[in-house]
Structure 1
Amino acid sequence: MATTINPYLTFTGKCEEAFNFYKSVFGGDFAFVGRFKDMPPQEGMPPMPAEAADMLMHISLPIGGGVLMGSDTCEGWGPSLTVGNNITISINATNKEDADRLFNGLSAGGHVTMPMSDTFWGAYFGMFTDKFGINWMVNFDKNSPS
């Protein structure tokens, strides 16, 4: 499996509506739909606001050889959303070492928002904004065949 790069879109409560629209245009089926209420409590994070429970934590729609991904954000619980910071580049690495190499290289001089670590969804994952202001996610799915 090769390293892939996919767009990740962020919305303020309109992610499900947007992705249903994209699905109506591109066709196909969602590979994953997860809501914030399905997420276990996270140490160091404030309690989730009630209005965020049914918002989308993550959704993915395979399109051609790539995947369009997205989520909602909730004011005061996640980063503030403005046009320009609502698109992130998501990299799916081929292995843990490649994920670390990409994360460390691209985040140099930038701001790490989530260091690479094992997650509750079975991935090795991290996030940062690079020194040019571009948002990135690096992911290695430990359960995916190599």
Structure 2
Amino acid sequence: MQVQPYLFFNGRCEEALKFYGEKLGAQVLFQMRFRDAPPNPQQPIRPGTEDKIMHASVKIGATELMASDGNCDDTPGSGTHTGYGLSITVDDPSQGEKTFNAICEGGNVVMPWQATFWSTGFGMVVDKFGVMWMVTNPHEGDKHAS
């Protein structure tokens, strides 16, 4: 069994994947746009969403996640990411701080990068797409604790 995060960006997936590529070294392994799907008369593609991303597989470090533009719904709260966070574990504090600062661009810092009782460096940020990220460099010997 494998559990993978699947993120929906409500029309901003391409922008998010580019941002994560620049900031985290994310690599798009596969990408399909809505226009690439076979025609389905029962579920036609909503006009204006043809070029939006229906599905993408993305690799960040050793982790693969999936992403989509989703329904591209403009109702209030439809693009909100709540109830979860993504955690990045790094090998050294300088890498952690650099990673944390990169994904902070345009986002909101929840907890600034700092040493804690459980790590040599930890920070939390909600990025500009509304995704909560936690970056941590655990104490030596605690690499599997996060």
Q: TM-score, normalised by structure 1?
A: 0.47
Relative contact order higher in (CA < 8 Å, ≥ 6 apart): 1
Rg comparison, structure with higher value: 2
